[in-house]
Structure 1
Amino acid sequence: MSEQELIYLLALQKVPNIGDISAKKLLRTLGSAEAIFKSTKKELKLIEGFGDLKINSIHDSSYMEEAEQELLFIEKENIKVRYFEDRNYPDYLKHCIDAPILLFQNGNIDLAHKKIISIVGTRKVTTHGVAFCEQLIEELAPLNPVIVSGFAYGVDICAHKAAMTHGLQTIGCLAHGLDQIYPKAHAKYESEVMDHGGFMTDFWSGSHFDRKNFLKRNRIIAGLSEATIVIESAEKGGSLVTADIANSYNREVFAVPGRNTDQLSKGCNNLIKTQQARLLTSVADLVYVLNWDIQDQKKQQTQLFVELSTEEQFVFDTLKKLGKSEVDVLALQCKLPTFKLNPILLALELKGVVRPLPGKQFEVI
C-alpha cells in the first residue's frame, strides 16, 4: 500500500467509537481508508450503524496528525505493518471477525505453511506446570510448530523459553506498542525472541498499560493459531478468556487436567468438564485431534543411523522383541504408563523407526 493510504489506515485505527468490525465495514463499503476520511457526513450516514457520534470522530483532523507521527516511529524502528486485506496477513487471524485492521510486527516471523499453536496459563505456574510445558514443547519440536503466547509471567514465558531452547519460532503478543517491553523483567529475553520469531501487537507506541489491553491482546493470541492450550489456571483468569475467544473462533482448545484439590487446576478441569476444551495429556492427543500429517517430518528425519534417547531405545528394543504390539501390552512390557509411552512412540514414529498399525498397534520398521 502507499504511504498515504497507510496514514489514513492508522488514523482510522485511532478513531474512537470505531472498532475493527466497524472499520472493516467502512473499508469494504467505501473501498479505501482515504475514501472514508474524504466522505461527507451525508454519505457516511447512508451506511448502516453510523450515526453522528462515529461520523464526527472520523472528521476530527487530530487523528491524521497522530497517524503521521506514528508512521515516523514505524519507519524509524523498521516495524512491519500487516493490513488485513494483504496476502501477508496471518491466515488464521484473517478469518476472525474482530481481527485488527493493522497488525504491527518486528523480528523474524515466518508463518507460511506452519503449524501454529498458542500456549497460555496462570502467571503463578507451579513446578508441575513448568515441567509439563517444557516436555510438551520438547515433544512437539520435531513437528516444527510456531509457539504463540503473551510474554507474561508464568506459563507464557515458560512456553517462549522452551520454544527457543528447541529452535522453534515463537511469537510474543503484546498488550502495548513495540516501543516497550512488559514486564520489564522479561526485557532480557527480547533479543532472543526477535532472533527466534518476534512480537506482534495492534497497539501503537506510547500505549498506556491498562487491564483491558490485555483482554484485547488475548484475541490475537487465540486468533493466530489453530489451537489454544491452557496449562494451569485458577477458576478465573486471563487464560480462560483466551480459551473462550478461541472457542468463539471455532478453534480447538485443549486443557491440561489436574487434581480437583489444586487451585491452579480448577480452571482447566472446568473447561474439560463443561466440554469447552479437550483433555490434553501428551503430544499424541494434539496430533490426533488436529489431524496433523506427520509423514513429511518422518521422511525428513529418517536417517541411516538414528540417535535415540535412553527411553526411546528401551521402547524400541522391547517392541522389536515383540514383533508388533498393542500400546497397552507394550506399556506393560516396558513398565510405563500409557501417557508416558505415547509421546515416546510418537518420537520414534517421527524418527522413522516404528510405524502405527490398525487397532492401536505398533511395529518396528
Structure 2
Amino acid sequence: MSLIHQVALSFIKNVGPVMAKSMLAYAGSAEDVFKIPPSKFLRAPGIGQKTIDQLDLNSALKLAEKEVAFVDKHDIDVIFFNDPRYPKRLKLCNDSPILLYAKGKMDLNTQRVISIVGTRKATDYGRLLCQELVTDLKSYGVTILSGLAYGIDVTAHKECIKQDVQTVGVLGHGLDRLYPASHRGTADKMMANGGLLTEYPSNTIADRENFPARNRIVAGMADATVVVEAGIKGGALITAEIANSYNRDVFAFPGRVGDEYSEGCNFLIRHNKAGLLTCAEDLAYILGWQKQDDQVPVKQNQLMLAMDLTTDERFIMEILGQNAGIAIDDLTIKTGMPMSLLAMNILNLEMQGFIRSMPGKTYAIN
C-alpha cells in the first residue's frame, strides 16, 4: 500500500470522508484511485459530474508528498481507514475520517473505551467528579478519550496519567502544534500510555469549525460518552448529540438546579438524551461490565449466596445460567411464570446483583 496515495486521498479538494470512502470502495485501493480515469467514478455512489470536473488529483499528490515527509521526520503514525489499527467503533460511523494521524503509544481498539467531556470552566466539584470517575474506572480496564481542552478534558487526562490509564487526546488541528499550548506538559506525559490523535494534517490551525468535527471522533471511538459538567451551550452537548446519533450510550452527572454548569447535564437527563450517572459503578452496571480482577470471585460469591434465593429465583438463575442472554418473552415461556411474578423475581435478582439487564429487554447472569 502506498502511504502517499493514502494521504493524498484525504487532500483531494471538495472530497470529504464519505465521498473519499466511496471512491476507495469503487477503486479498490488508494493507489488505484489515482490511476483509473476520473470519469469512472460516476459509477460510484454519491459522486456526480460536478465532483469529477473539480477533481485535482495531482495537487493532492503533491500535498501528500510534503505531509509524508513531515510525519516521517516527526515519528507520526498514519492510520488509514482499512488498517486493522483503525478504531473499529469509529469505522462504523458513516462520516468517520479516511485516515488519522497519531503520536504516542496507543491501542485504539481496546475492549472498553469511554469518552469524558465537559465544560472548559469546570468547578471544583466538576473536577472532583471527573477525578473520582477516572480513578474508579481504572479497575474496568478502560481507555479514556477527551479533547485536551481546558476544564474537564484536561482534568480527565491528568487523572489518567496519575492512575496509569491509557488516555488519548483528540485534537482539532495538526500535530505540528498544540492548542492550548499550556497543556504541552500533559500531552508529553500522555505519550507513554496513549497520546494524541487527529484527522488534520500539519499546518492546520485550531479553527473554531474544526472542533465540532473533532467531537464526532470523540463520540464515535467510544462505547459511551460521559458528560461530567456542562453549560446549556458548548462542545460537550454537541458531542453528546453526536453520540446519540451514532446510537452510543450517553451519561451525565446531574447538578444542582440553577447552577450554570449543570444546566447542560440536567437538560440531557431531562430530555432522555443521557442516563443519570452518580458513579463509575452506575456506568459499568448499565454497560454490563465487570471489574477485570474480580470476575471469578463474583460468580463464586453468587453460588455461595444462591442458597438464600427462593425456589422461583433459583429456577430463573438456572435457566439464565444455560444462556448468554435471554429475552424476557423467552424467559416467560421457559419458566411458565405469570409475567407479574416473573417481573418481581427478576427485580429481586437485579437488586441483589445476581443478574443484569441488557439492551432489548434481555437478561444475563452477572
Instruction: Give the Å deviation of 1:55.
Output: 1.7
CA distance in 2, matches of 1:177, 1:24: 21
Instruction: Give the Å deviation of 1:142.
Output: 1.4
Q: 1:301 to 1:216 in 2, by over 3 A?
A: farther
**1:171, 1:198 within 8 Å by CA — same for their partners in 2?**
yes
CA distance in 1, matches of 2:174, 2:268: 32
Q: Residue 254 of structure 1: which of 251, 255, 258 is its match? A: 251
**2:22, 2:45 within 8 Å by CA — same for their partners in 1?**
no
Q: 1:207 to 1:301 in 2, by over 3 A?
A: farther
Q: 1:185 to 1:39 in 2, by over 3 A?
A: same
Normalization by structure 2: what TM-score? 0.79
Kindly tell me the number of residue pairs found equivalent between the two proteins.
Answer: 306
CA distance in 2, matches of 1:213, 1:267: 22
Instruction: Please name the residue that 2:351 is paired with.
Output: 360
How do 1:43-192 residues align onto structure 2 when only pairs under 5 Å count? 43-192=40-189
Q: Percent identity?
A: 43
**1:173, 1:220 within 8 Å by CA — same for their partners in 2?**
yes
Instruction: Please name the residue that 2:222 is paired with.
Output: 225
**2:115, 2:226 within 8 Å by CA — same for their partners in 1?**
yes
**2:110, 2:142 within 8 Å by CA — same for their partners in 1?**
no
Instruction: Give the Å deviation of 1:89.
Output: 1.1
1:203-244 per-residue CA deviation (whole Å, 9 max, x = no partner) reads 001102211111111011111110000011111111111011
Normalization by structure 1: what TM-score? 0.79
Flag structure 1 segments of 5+ consecutive residues without an equivalent.
Answer: 303-323, 325-356
Q: Which amino acid aligns with 1:85?
A: N
1:231-277 per-residue CA deviation (whole Å, 9 max, x = no partner) reads 11111111111011111111100011111211111111111111111
Instruction: Please name the residue that 2:231 is paired with.
Output: 234
CA distance in 2, matches of 1:60, 1:287: 48
Q: 1:96 to 1:56 in 2, by over 3 A?
A: same
Instruction: Give the Å deviation of 1:47.
Output: 3.0
Q: Residue 298 of structure 1: which of 294, 301, 304 is its match? A: 294
CA distance in 1, matches of 2:297, 2:107: 22
CA distance in 1, matches of 2:88, 2:44: 28
Q: What RMSD over aligned residues (CA atoms) do the two structures have, in Å? A: 2.0
CA distance in 2, matches of 1:162, 1:195: 14
Q: Which amino acid aligns with 1:143?
A: Y
CA distance in 2, matches of 1:144, 1:50: 42
Q: Residue 25 of structure 2: which of 24, 28, 36 is its match? A: 28
CA distance in 1, matches of 2:71, 2:199: 13
Instruction: Give the Å deviation of 1:112.
Output: 4.4
CA distance in 1, matches of 2:20, 2:353: 53
CA distance in 1, matches of 2:69, 2:108: 27
> Which one is further off, 110-119 or 161-170?
110-119
CA distance in 2, matches of 1:190, 1:235: 28
**2:140, 2:290 within 8 Å by CA — same for their partners in 1?**
no
**1:145, 1:169 within 8 Å by CA — same for their partners in 2?**
yes
CA distance in 2, matches of 1:9, 1:244: 30
**2:107, 2:194 within 8 Å by CA — same for their partners in 1?**
yes
CA distance in 2, matches of 1:207, 1:162: 29
User: Are 1:216 and 2:213 matched, yes or no?
Assistant: yes
For residue 180 of structure 1, give the secondary structure of its aligned residue in structure 2.
coil
How do 1:274-285 residues align onto structure 2 when only pairs under 5 Å count? 274-285=271-282
**1:37, 1:59 within 8 Å by CA — same for their partners in 2?**
no
Instruction: Give the Å deviation of 1:299.
Output: 5.7
User: Are 1:204 and 2:195 matched, yes or no?
Assistant: no
Q: 1:281 to 1:7 in 2, by over 3 A?
A: same
CA distance in 2, matches of 1:122, 1:274: 19
**1:17, 1:53 within 8 Å by CA — same for their partners in 2?**
no
How do 1:314-353 residues align onto structure 2 when only pairs under 5 Å count? none
For residue 119 of structure 1, give the secondary structure of its aligned residue in structure 2.
strand
Flag structure 2 segments of 5+ consecutive residues without an equivalent.
Answer: 299-307, 309-347, 355-366
